[in-house]
Structure 1
Amino acid sequence: MLVALEAKRDVFTPAFVQALGIGGKMDLIFLILFAVALGAIYLLIIRPLQKRARENAGASPAGSAVLQSGDTKPAGSSAEEFSQNNTLSTTGAAAMEDGADIESLMSAVRDQAVELRCEHAKTVSNLSLSFDVLTNRLATIEPLLAKAMEAAGKSEASVALLTASNDEYRHKLAEAERDLGYYRPLAMKLDDDLRIARNHLTETERKFAALESDYAKTQGAANELFQKMASAELARQRAAEENVALVQRLNEHDFTIQSLLRETAVLKSETVSVASDLERAERESKSVADKYAVELEGASRAKTALNSLQAEFSQFRKDSAAQIEQIEERERVSAEALSIKEKQFYDSEIKQSALNSKVDFLTRTNQRLREDLRSHLDHIGNLEASNRKLLDLLARNSAADEQEVDTRDLATAGRTAPKLRAVSDTQTGASVSTKALPPDRS
């Protein structure tokens, strides 16, 4: 059985130990400890018991022969022989009791040994089956392990490329962060300028609203003045019509006066020729003179009223002209201020549109930089995850190689000529590349 176990143990390879893992190593350790315990039990308990049983078995026939010889002696022996016989009988009884105890212990030890042998046989059969299964698994695992080593070599090259690309992306990320640090104060400054421009625009809009209200008030005052001027023009037209009527009446009165003067001349000429009619003519002349005086007084009053109306009209015209000049001056000043404010408002709108376009450009630039940074960070995260996976795989491969060496040393420790399995160059290169890789800075 031990030879078969040694033969099956020689079949083990480092790849088999790698497939077993920590659980297989612990089972092997427990098996060795169990064998050592069985040897210690055999050396410390079973062999002394067997030796003692053999000694008791050799002593018991001599006692029985002595008893038989004592029984065959005559009854008239001495007291000394009787006491010796008693002593021998007592010793034989004690030896028989010890033999019975030893036989019971031997039977118990044999039963336990049989049980241990049964358990050992079961364990050996189970281990042989497990060894066969693991040998088959090893046969299937070896090509997979070769493929895994080839994949590890390829992964090492990809890790180098990914490390270079990672460094490049980190450099680009640092440049992007520097650009972002450069554009951030510029964006803050532009935000301040935009806020100041918005405040100026709000102030300009407020002033423009105040100017619009002033313009509305001025327009209302101008409309009132235009209404007053229209009413004054109507009054002037009415006064002109009245003046025309008065002039017509004065012309009529002048014509009447001229006709009366002609009649007076006629009458004076007639007074020379007509003496008889002098008194009548004088009376008529007096009446005509009185009538003329009354009409002349009315004409003078009308002329005085016309002069006063003309003076009032001229004064009103002067006042209207002064008010119109003031209104025109205010309108001119308001128009100039309005044009200046409109120009300032137009300049403010131009500045606001320029600032808005600049802010939009900077916002788009910032958004583009953020998207580039986010894509770079995602790509770097993916690269770091793949790098971490490859590092874990290489670490597991290196740990498996170390476990393989330890298990090979442990499995071949009891043999005089251990057979060592050479480590392949791919595994050595994988372990070296694993040690040469930089640590993950994520």
Structure 2
Amino acid sequence: MGRFTFKLPDIGEGIAEAEIVAWHVAVGDVVEEDQPLADMMTDKATVEMTAPVAGKVLEIAGAVGDMIPIGSALAVFATEGDDAAEEPVVEVAPNEAAQVVKPEPVPLPDREGLGVGSVAASDGPAATEESSLRSQPTPDPSLSGRGEGRVLASPAVRERARALGVDLAQVKPAQGDRVRHADLDAFLSYNQSYRPAAGKRADEAIKVIGMRRRIAENMAASKRHIPHFTYVEEFDVTKLEDLRGDLNATRGDRPKLTMLPLLIVAICKALPEFPMINARYDDEAGVVTRYGSVHLGIATQTDAGLMVPVIRDAESRNIWQLATEIRRLAEAARTGKAKSEELSGSTLTLTSLGPLGGIATTPVINRPEVAILGPNKVVERPVIRDGEIAVAKLMNFSISCDHRVVDGWDAASFVQAIKRLVETPALMFVD
């Protein structure tokens, strides 16, 4: 006949299920082959699924935030030659791909307002578009294309933007040219002073899905299973900042240096004496693995949430190579182009808020690692040197450790070793 069931393929090694983080089509839409269908998130990456055939969407398997087993029906299409008007047009709940339910009219609640919490790649409030077994209105195709000065967005996104008083031209898509609900969430999260023209922002319940759910689960597991302790020390980075300025003045066509590459050099140079820091703890097996190479995770804020791309073999790279890799990985993470292997396998994590770094931080360990490092912002303050007052550039440096694996003395000694290198930068470049 002309009815095609698209089953979720194996989109990652060892993956049993994937989460729906965004739908790009609705029931009743007519799609072309290879047109974006849905974004599916595994433990390692988000994968865009495309339509395998051209036709009309009859059924979609679940709401945003639902977990779909590999091999189960993701969508059902009526292909050319099929009388689609005879088919019930409904969504299908997860794990019930064969069940067909006649739709009932459901009034949609108002879409006004948005909470300011950072939300990962979602497709809107749970109370509206995400309920399974509900009929979906057919979008007006005339609103989906880009005309002169038009922004690509679905009718649902346009409706929500109008309710919020948001000009879609101000919203930067995280992927491609199409503005999605996740982009609206990110825009309002990162523009917390923004208020719609109507004035007071209404309350809105945001379903925790996608990247934000992964972050929530990982952080909860880390705090639940790991007894954290944090140690903070003050570094005098005056000489290091002078060195950074001199290197940037003579860098030629090499990338501009921030503080991070220099700190990474110091960290990698200090680590061999403290192998318990560069390690991962398998608490189920009761095994600690100490790594010879430093695969350094760099916590990176993106519109979809916090990601941790990894600099492989950081100890073997010079400051310019580190600067180049930091920039490349950060760009890949923020544009959604980071590969799954670039987002996994770290042995130690460095998290920095740059100029927002604050006085001190107590970072949460990136489980199953056993430590995380947190440099804070550089500030100028008066200090006493040889009995005289001088102005110095100071920075607090935090380390959080897993107390099951790392003792307080070891953590403090490691940070003091980094401090000696940072405050005497020449030592960083001698054997």
Class of the TM-score when normalised by the shorter of the 2 chains: under 0.3
TM-score by length of 1: 0.12
Structure with the higher strand share, 1 or 2: 2
- The structure with the largest alpha-carbon Rg is 1
Instruction: Tell me which of the two structures has the higher relative contact order, counting C-alpha pairs closer than 8 angstroms and 6 or more residues apart.
Output: 1
Structure with the higher helix share, 1 or 2: 1
TM-score by length of 2: 0.12
